[in-house]
Structure 1
Amino acid sequence: MSTKFDPKNKIIRLCVLGIGMEEQGNSEEASELFLQAWNESANDFERFIAAYQVAKHEKYISNRLKWMETSLEYAIKSNDDSVKSAFPAIYLSISKCYEELGNYNKAKINYELSNSYNTEPYDKGPFYHGTRADLQVGDLLVSGRDSNYNSEVKMNHIYFTSNLNGAGLAAGLAKGEGRERVYVVKPTGPFENDPNVTDKKFPGNLTCSYRSEAPLRIVGEKTDWMKKTPEEISQWRDKLANNKGEIIN
């Protein structure tokens, strides 16, 4: 089972606002937003996300440990495939807390737990790729194209996701004049979590974004995805243009 990451989800939006406040140095406002997210969380997936953000923002190690262990508790309860990718980061954070508190035995246990989780994606699909290219079933999508986000970068990987609406967003942002298409794809080789989004603002790879050096084979097309408005696409383009981070290629 997997609860797909939705940027419109109220709890995720509160956390994103809090992260923005934190980046601007508004620590108190950030803390209030993270606690609001926690108090308004309605399920285990939301509680896991909110508790993690509260934990990261805590100044006192004992409080950080309490909230990080709470995040882990709800991550496990959520029984969510996408959340499994967050376990290494959470266990590592717990290990660091115990180390700072001088409990080296528990620090070692949690460090080993962090390393014990396979870094290979747990996701079994189905997988999608968003583009404006007019393609057919059986065609191969390959790496080596210009990045949609930085025209100076030729991508060494081909990217895809199991989040249907995430693929729809990628189609909206894709270059070209063709209509937005979301293809069902099958990886022809090994793939990995996309390092451009994994363990960034949220733990693990909650957006279910992946990449592969091997081609993707098109096996179908989807039409029942949530299309972004021109205004939303414009906002996303502005956000990406203002992103100071380098593409991990």
Structure 2
Amino acid sequence: MAISFYKMFGFPTGVGALIAKESFLAQLTRPWFAGGTVDVVQAPGTLHTMAADIHEQFEDGTINYLNLPAITDGLRFLSAYLPFLPLRLSTLTDYLITSLTQLRHESTGTPVVRVLSRPPTRRLKSVGEQAGTGSVISLIFLSPSGDMLPLSFIEHASTAQNISLRTGCMCNPGGAAALLGLRDDMNLLYPGVTMRKFEEHVGHELGVVRISLGLASNFQDVWRVLRFAAGLAREEGRELMWEAWTESKTARVL
């Protein structure tokens, strides 16, 4: 299990952890070595002996030890709120998903978004209960005709309103392909293919929009996302956002 402390409590960046059973690590054989992972190296020659401690065999180079004290403070800070987070975040997640799926375009009555990730399976009612799903929502925004709105447009329009939405494949192309129903198209990929060529083949930008709720998220954040989505439902508001996005692309070309 790979852990990003930055994603848990915001600081420090560049420091993570890998949790694994020693019996599992003992079965892995690395075809290369780097500084800090070996005990003996034959020079000249090809003989090398990996470090005796199994975990050291996977620690390439010098770890970011200057930031390690921040992990202790971050874990202590997070643990104080941990019992309350599932109840709080599941409530925000459920409200956001429910509200987003109810939005309709004024001109056609069609949905504004399509939620792709699994919604919460049950409503938590007390502190200490554990949620059945996480607090990350994957979705795509739709035009009045039901077509997927470009991810670059959503990113530009949301950023203009000081809303940070992640767009793209989220470091998980397999997951994105499954959510978007592109598994068969992925089989057509060939060596040297570019992202632009593949997007031309499927007819739209690749990826999804991700809304991540965490320790620092509150109802105001959720409400701002809903207001942004509601603005896309109104033809006038959507056209203004579209014009600003189009002008930005023209300016970059010039």
TM-score (ref. length: structure 1) = 0.25
Larger radius of gyration: 2
TM-score (ref. length: structure 2) = 0.24
